[in-house]
A and B are shown apart, each in its own frame.
Chain A
Amino acid sequence: MNSLLRSFGPRMTTVILLLSVVWVAGMIIGPQLIMVEQSFWYKDQGGEAAANSVRIDRLYNDIDMLSFDKMDAEALVPSQERDAKIAGIETVVAEKRVVIAELEAREIAPKKVYSLRNYTIMGRSHLAIFIKTILASVAVTFIAFVVCYPMAYTVAKLATPGKAAIIMLGLIIPYAINELLRVFAWLMILNYNGVANYLLGLVGIDSVPFLESGTGVFIAMVYAYILFMVFPIYNTVETLDTAQIEAARDLGAPTWQIHRRVVLPHAKPGIAVGCIMTFMLSAGSYAVPYIMTRGTAEPWFTQLIYNKFFESSNWNTGSAYAFTLLVACIIFIFLMMRLFKVGIKDIAK
């Protein structure tokens, strides 16, 4: 309470705490928990429901048959035996009706069954897509780091202020242009009759099906998310005192040693953030595979999630898939924090 209460007084403190609770509980934790909860149960329809309706049909048939028996019995000469027989049939029918009512009730309200089925249902082919998505995202992250580190270092330390401003502008413009449009530019290049194949045609090479083979997704993804690596690294390298670099050089360190011993260790938090962002955006990208596969290449894991929710409307399995992706991202974040020895405070700034 302490200083919050002291600076805002009881009424405003209540409002502030209330807003924080709405955000944390109602928008961040609540939705995630419900999603995870959904992923652990399924509605018991499917196979059992089919068996159910078969049983119900059979029971109705039995009742029909019994009603014939009853009519036969009624046709007999009235006697105690006849009455007993009819009563017997009637009790059997009543019993069967109770069972039918039970089964029908279950048919209307399918049972919620807790199990891991939504996860195990994934099967080999979807698991392969999941692994492919993760590996491709790691590759995108790695490429982005290799390409962006020199650029971030240049803007932060090498270029003159005027030049740095121009390079910065050159980085911000493509960064700020909508993701879809950037991907679309590559669609035009890699399309079957696009620019790339036109150029290949000029040198006599047959058209390459970039989109159909799935390479298009990868190429466009590197392009779409590469700049998310530049800015975090730039931000940390910029805070490095240039005198340290000069001192290392004066003491005779070759360029690669300066980077390995001075710049890279200092840039660790930025590199960690860049890697986390790039990986998370790639693994969680729906736009890039949606546009770049045109439904012909093997899907990205996010597309499987989308289909579970909005095409086969199996939200429980969809939740399980989404949670799987989330866990993969969390593991990646912890790996990066371990690898670069940084805490959450360093990451989110």
Chain B
Amino acid sequence: MSSVSQTAFGQGSRIVFNIYMVIFFAYMFLPLILMVAAGFNEFSTPSVTVWRGFTLKWFGVLAQDTRMWSGLINSLIIAIAVILVSLPLGLAGAFVITRFDSRYNGLLYGIMVSPLLTPGIILGISTLIFWRETGVSGGLFTAAMAQATYISSYTMLMFMARLERQDITLEEAAMDLGASHIQVFRRITMPFLKPTILTASVIAFLQSFENYNTTIFSIGGSHTLVTEIGSRMRFGLTPAVNVIGIIFVVITIVSAAIYVIFREREKARAAAVKG
């Protein structure tokens, strides 16, 4: 590999390339570092240019913030609802696409992935309108439904990727030996899908928890942690918001590191199997 990088660039372009890498990552990380730093500043508006000394008091201020706590609870409720809705829907969709041979499959597939290509605010609005017709006004329920619309597309793609690798003869063998459809599903299909169910739940949870654009258009008068953060950024901004930023950054770094380590290990294992 390193020989490729040797030949790919001359000395001059290597320097240009390194400068590019440095600028790129500075661009990615400096803003985040500033945001984290301002969370430790005594000054009452988020700032790094006016430094009034190091403090941890904004952590305390955040812990006292009842609206943030209720937002967090709402976020968790919605995320769990989204998992419960989007996993069965995604799985059903994946089964239909992989095993239901009809000439409308392509069209059906296009419709099922279309929420991923639709702006989130439109998913939010259309869900809100749809449920208002049946007399349900905006709230946690509509927010969960709007999110589940596109998160189901994610889970479907994940299940499809897994199902494509499935050895269907196993199911057939079980059935030849007299197992019922339910038994085959419970004993063979589900265990095979188990890892995907786990990762799909995690992805669904994260997607739901982090969502702003779809949620703000469908949640009515209620709020989640993220929509509350959004409104704080316009009204009543204090470094407590930066503290939330610090918490998010720490959680993200830890989980991203775990993810990359796992990925590398998987890759190494795959290479070992191949070799």
Contact B101 A325 (CB under 8 A): no
Chain B's closest residue to A37 (CB) is: B129
Question: In angstroms, how far is the closest chain A Cβ from the Cβ of B201?
Answer: 17
Question: In angstroms, how far is the closest chain A Cβ from the Cβ of B150?
Answer: 9
Chain B's closest residue to A292 (CB) is: B233
Number of A-B contacts (CB under 8 A): 267
Contact with B along A162-181 (1 / 0, CB 8 A): 00010011111110111111
Pick the contact of B121 from A4, A147, A183, A322 — CB < 8 Å?
A322
Pick the contact of B49 from A158, A193, A283 — CB < 8 Å?
A193
Chain B hits for A318, CB < 8 A: 125
> How far does the alpha carbon of A35 sit from the alpha carbon of B217 in the complex, in Å?
14
Question: In angstroms, how far is the closest chain B Cβ from the Cβ of A266?
Answer: 16
> How far does the alpha carbon of A347 sit from the alpha carbon of B110 in the complex, in Å?
10
Contact B185 A180 (CB under 8 A): no
Question: In angstroms, how far is the closest chain B Cβ from the Cβ of A230?
Answer: 10
Pick the contact of A188 from B46, B126, B216 — CB < 8 Å?
B46
Contact A180 B226 (CB under 8 A): yes
Chain A hits for B106, CB < 8 A: 344-345
Contact A35 B129 (CB under 8 A): yes
A235: Cβ under 8 A from any B Cβ: no
Contact A325 B119 (CB under 8 A): yes
Contact B111 A24 (CB under 8 A): yes
Chain A hits for B127, CB < 8 A: 27, 31
Q: Contacts A31-B130, A160-B2 known; A287 to B92 CB distance under 8 Å? A: no
B1: Cβ under 8 A from any A Cβ: yes
Q: Contacts A306-B217, A344-B110 known; A184 to B233 CB distance under 8 Å? A: yes
Chain B's closest residue to A190 (CB) is: B31
> How far does the alpha carbon of A4 sit from the alpha carbon of B27 in the complex, in Å?
50
One of B64-72, B191-199, B255-263 contacting the partner: B255-263
Contact with A along B179-223 (1 / 0, CB 8 A): 011101100010000000000000000100010110011000000
Chain A hits for B168, CB < 8 A: 7
Chain A hits for B108, CB < 8 A: 24
Contact A7 B5 (CB under 8 A): no
A142: Cβ under 8 A from any B Cβ: no
B270: Cβ under 8 A from any A Cβ: no
Question: In angstroms, how far is the closest chain B Cβ from the Cβ of A290?
Answer: 7
> How far does the alpha carbon of A287 sit from the alpha carbon of B256 in the complex, in Å?
24
Contact with B along A299-331 (1 / 0, CB 8 A): 000100110010000010011001001100100
Q: Contacts A23-B92, A286-B121, A290-B230 known; A2 to B100 CB distance under 8 Å? A: yes
> How far does the alpha carbon of A54 sit from the alpha carbon of B7 in the complex, in Å?
84
> How far does the alpha carbon of A185 sit from the alpha carbon of B39 in the complex, in Å?
11
Contact B259 A151 (CB under 8 A): no
> How far does the alpha carbon of A181 sit from the alpha carbon of B232 in the complex, in Å?
11
Contact A287 B212 (CB under 8 A): yes
Pick the contact of B119 from A34, A187, A283 — CB < 8 Å?
A283
Chain B hits for A7, CB < 8 A: 99, 168, 171, 181, 184, 189
B78: Cβ under 8 A from any A Cβ: no
A38: Cβ under 8 A from any B Cβ: yes
Question: In angstroms, how far is the closest chain A Cβ from the Cβ of B125?
Answer: 5
B112: Cβ under 8 A from any A Cβ: yes
A94: Cβ under 8 A from any B Cβ: no
Contact with A along B129-165 (1 / 0, CB 8 A): 1100100000000000100110011000100000000
A84: Cβ under 8 A from any B Cβ: no
Contact A326 B122 (CB under 8 A): yes
B54: Cβ under 8 A from any A Cβ: no
Q: Contacts A180-B230, A319-B129 known; A189 to B119 CB distance under 8 Å? A: no
B62: Cβ under 8 A from any A Cβ: no
B272: Cβ under 8 A from any A Cβ: no
A80: Cβ under 8 A from any B Cβ: no
Chain B hits for A169, CB < 8 A: 256-257, 260
Q: Within residues 1 to 54 of chain B, which ones have a CB less than 8 A from any CB in chain A? A: 1-2, 4-5, 7-9, 13, 17, 20-21, 24-25, 27-29, 31-32, 34-35, 38, 46-50
Question: In angstroms, how far is the closest chain A Cβ from the Cβ of B82?
Answer: 12
Chain A hits for B256, CB < 8 A: 169, 172-173, 176
Q: Within residues 145 to 164 of chain A, which ones have a CB less than 8 A from any CB in chain B? A: 147, 150-151, 154, 157-161
A106: Cβ under 8 A from any B Cβ: no
> How far does the alpha carbon of A169 sit from the alpha carbon of B100 in the complex, in Å?
39
B83: Cβ under 8 A from any A Cβ: no
Contact B230 A287 (CB under 8 A): yes
Chain B hits for A184, CB < 8 A: 35, 46, 233, 241, 245
Pick the contact of B260 from A27, A159, A160, A165 — CB < 8 Å?
A165
B113: Cβ under 8 A from any A Cβ: yes
Pick the contact of A159 from B1, B182, B184, B233 — CB < 8 Å?
B1
Contact A8 B125 (CB under 8 A): no
B76: Cβ under 8 A from any A Cβ: no
Q: Contacts A158-B5, A180-B226, A333-B117 known; A188 to B34 CB distance under 8 Å? A: yes
Question: In angstroms, how far is the closest chain B Cβ from the Cβ of A48?
Answer: 25
A3: Cβ under 8 A from any B Cβ: yes
Subset of 29 A-B contacts with CB under 8 Å:
A2-B100, A4-B100, A7-B184, A16-B96, A17-B96, A20-B93, A20-B96, A28-B114, A31-B130, A150-B17, A151-B21, A160-B2, A170-B29, A176-B255, A177-B32, A178-B226, A179-B212, A188-B38, A189-B31, A189-B34, A194-B47, A194-B49, A223-B27, A255-B9, A255-B13, A286-B217, A322-B125, A344-B110, A347-B113
